[in-house]
Structure 1
């Protein structure tokens, strides 16, 4: 009986010892694996790609026409008819609106009458001048013969001078009357307003039946009736920071996008760069004018907001890597090439960089894997000093390889 009890105790003890050894071994394996994971660096990799490189400068701008034409009239009167609406396309010479010509016709008639009066006054003054001229010559001859007094001859000479001045005055009045008639006839013509060029009506400022009064002074240009523009010749007016303006020049291509036209890219080019900068929020910017291409002109609207990418440089079919993967030192540029689970440094020859991508001229091939960045994977807050030292050595070795 006692021997059976002892055998059971021995069996239980051996089972407990085996279980303890198994748990201890499992904990050791977990801990070892954990430390191994803590010390093994992970890599963020990227492939060397072959593609197109673009270096661009960003800007924003507003769509506008090259020029806006204000349609004015120097004529006065009631608007009889308006033949256009906002948004309508018109051709050069097309009738836009008409005014009642009665007021301007009366002015033309009055100007004609004034011209006739001016001619009559001139003819009268001319006759008086010719008579005074003949009398003056005759009396001068009599004065030389001593037949009249000097005072009488001077009186006739003064009369001649007055008649000559009167003739000049009446002639000037004829010229003024002619100008008045010409202006009245022009104003009469402007009771029928025609388009000065092809374009689209942008605004209308008057209504049928409205009476306009442009006055008699043509210096003001007359009353504004309509605004129109050629929408086949559109531009974008934008601003470029002074730090970038030295890199751009007229004729450079521009890629254009608009929030109102998503997933569409339009072509344009720099038409003009303002030589004088302006201050906006304590930043100096230079105004540029970008001419839109035919595709953009067909779909973009005036005052539409746009985003501009001015293409400073572009290269086709070149090797590209992320700029973060490149390390430079006095010895030159290097990257870490990752192959067979290991990273090794390699010297490369660089081309142009736009900050995001860098062109590789020599040293790499397409589809090779390179290290963009590396880091440890430890998530544990408690590390052994030995683990820390190992990790530190690993990171130092990594940095040394990148030099």
Structure 2
């Protein structure tokens, strides 16, 4: 019995030893590596850079008042379309007291001069009738009288403009604000009852309305200094407007700033591009947008994923399949790359299969 037990125990030890050996042998064997293969394909390759910015009107005008006062009545709201000369607002005047005092003084002085000229003219008229002076000399006093009478009229109109905003014949009206160009009203920052200040040599004055031609829009953005040397006027841009997702606009680059500015630790250059508007879509001022600037483009060329390219000593290679899991290295000539896929000018055909790296 004891002998049978020892035999049984020996068989168990042997089985464990053999099993362990088989397990370790199988584990030590390396599985052959299987490579995936891909084929070159025909595609379009576009190399581009991105500029961030916004869409704005080319010409945006702030309409200001020639006089100070209170906004008495507004005739437009934001979104209205106006033509040059249309009335935008009327101002209830609050005249400058210094200007008013000067105008009154000028009028009084002009009236005194006119009265003196009138008396002198009457005296010269009597002398001419008595043939003590010639008609030509009398005419000189007549002209002086006419000039001083015109100065009185001018002083009266000036005073009326300051006090009431209009002349006697209403050919000049300073308290009525008119559009200075055709366009759309973008903003009316001051409501009826607000006090506004006139524009002068000391300041631009209070803006009554802002208007712009919305049929002439531009993209204004910034390009990093690493990319600005690659772009030039006339290049095509593709605008992705955030508020109109999926509705791209085309534009043509027309300006590159000659001077860069610092922005978040990097130097950037301002660019502007004329936007090709689409009739069915309305571009609002200050829409944020990203512009893809096309630096170069290839159409219908053979390409591969750039990650499958081997670069050694400034030469480019791929591993072409010659049989099942058999590959040979082949030199290729490359062209344009967009950072993901690269053009193969020569060395590969569509029917070839290459190792996927």
Normalising by structure 1, we get a TM-score of 0.64
Q: Distance in 1 between matches of 2:46 and 2:264?
A: 30
- Residue 83 and residue 21 in structure 1: after superposition, are their counterparts in 2 closer, same or farther (change >3 A)? same
Q: Distance in 1 between matches of 2:233 and 2:41?
A: 32
1:48–1:364 CA contact under 8 A, matched in 2: yes
Unaligned runs of 5+ in 2: none
Which piece of structure 1 moves more, 306-315 or 362-371? 362-371
2:57–2:217 CA contact under 8 A, matched in 1: yes
Matches within 5 A, 1:174-189: 174=150, 178=154, 181=157, 185=167, 188-189=172-173
1:243 CA displacement: 3.0
Aligned twin of 2:49: 57
Matches within 5 A, 1:377-388: none
1:202–1:229 CA contact under 8 A, matched in 2: yes
When the two structures are aligned, how many residues end up with a matched partner?
333
Matches within 5 A, 1:156-171: 171=147
Q: Distance in 1 between matches of 2:279 and 2:225?
A: 27
- The higher radius of gyration belongs to 1
Is residue 2:356 matched to residue 1:365? no
Output one character per residue of 1:54-85: Cα deviation in whole Å (capped at 9) or x when no partner: 11112211232212211223245554421222
Q: Distance in 1 between matches of 2:295 and 2:145?
A: 69
Secondary structure at 2:281 match in 1: helix
Q: Distance in 2 between matches of 1:297 and 1:242?
A: 36
Aligned twin of 2:276: 293
Aligned twin of 1:393: none
Is residue 2:209 matched to residue 1:226? yes
Unaligned runs of 5+ in 1: 138-159, 374-403
Normalising by structure 2, we get a TM-score of 0.71
Q: Distance in 1 between matches of 2:16 and 2:195?
A: 110
Aligned twin of 2:319: 336
Output one character per residue of 1:279-301: Cα deviation in whole Å (capped at 9) or x when no partner: 44564332111222314993544
Pick from 248, 265, 269: which aligns with 1:265? Answer: 248
1:190 CA displacement: 4.2
Pick from 78, 83, 89: which aligns with 1:97? Answer: 89
Q: Distance in 1 between matches of 2:320 and 2:120?
A: 107
Is residue 2:247 matched to residue 1:256? no
Pick from 28, 31, 54: which aligns with 1:31? Answer: 28
Q: Distance in 1 between matches of 2:192 and 2:315?
A: 78
Secondary structure at 1:294 match in 2: coil
Secondary structure at 1:189 match in 2: coil
